[in-house]
Amino acid sequence: MTMMKSKTEYLTFNTSTRRAFINITPQVAKIVAESGVKEGLCLVNAMHISASVFINDDESGLHQDFDRWLEKLAPYSPDSYLHNRTGEDNADAHLKRQVMGREVVVAITNGRLDFGPWEQIFYGEFDGRRQKRVLVKVIGE
């Protein structure tokens, strides 16, 4: 009988810019390896409502396209959003997070993240310059 294993880790980010995209695949892969799970799932989720975790290609032009596209969809404009009447200036960051997503789940096969071609895991920051966490939860056998 195989025993179910689990491992929980937290990654912490504090970007120097308001918006950033960070490839976190190496950190997540290390946690998966340390877990000892050979077959299972890895959940990675942003634990803040103005940040995102998503899977895509690690190509700088694409990341610039994401940034420009998101800025067109929800421009940083402190006076334009009802949410900002609460004293915040980050309504655009909440909207960007909603578009880019909260979390990803990746299969673990033979002890490794089981990606398609070019897939990588990214942390998307939309209201940076302060500390935020990402949960990595590995479950399997």
Per-residue pLDDT reduced to its tens digit, 111-133 = 999 999 999 999 999 999 999 99
- Where does the pLDDT of residue 2 fall: very low under 50, low under 70, confident under 90, or very high at 90 and above? confident
Mean pLDDT of 88-99: 97
Q: Rounded to whole angstroms, how far apart are CA atoms 101 and 117?
A: 21
Q: What percent of the chain has pLDDT over 90?
A: 98
Q: Which domain holds residue 43?
A: 5-140
- pLDDT above 70 covers a percentage of the chain that reads 100
Provide the pLDDT confidence category of residue 1 given band limits of 50, 70 and 90.
Answer: confident
Q: Which amino acid is at 82?
A: L
Interval 23-45 mean pLDDT? 98
Q: Which residue has the tokens 């195989």?
A: 2
What's the DSSP call for residue 102? S
CATH of the domain at 72: 2.60.120.460
pLDDT higher than 80, residue 110? yes
Q: How many alpha carbons lie under 13 Å from residue 124 in its C-beta half-sphere?
A: 27
pLDDT of 41 reads 98
- CA nearest 32: which of 7, 4, 58, 66? 7
Count of structural domains, the chain: 1
H helices of 54-104, where?
A: 60-73, 91-100
What residues have CB less than 8 Å from 101, skipping those under 6 apart?
52, 53, 54
pLDDT digits (tens, 9 = 90+) for 48-91: 999 999 999 999 999 999 999 999 999 999 999 999 999 999 99
How does DSSP classify residue 75? -
Residue 10 DSSP SS3: strand
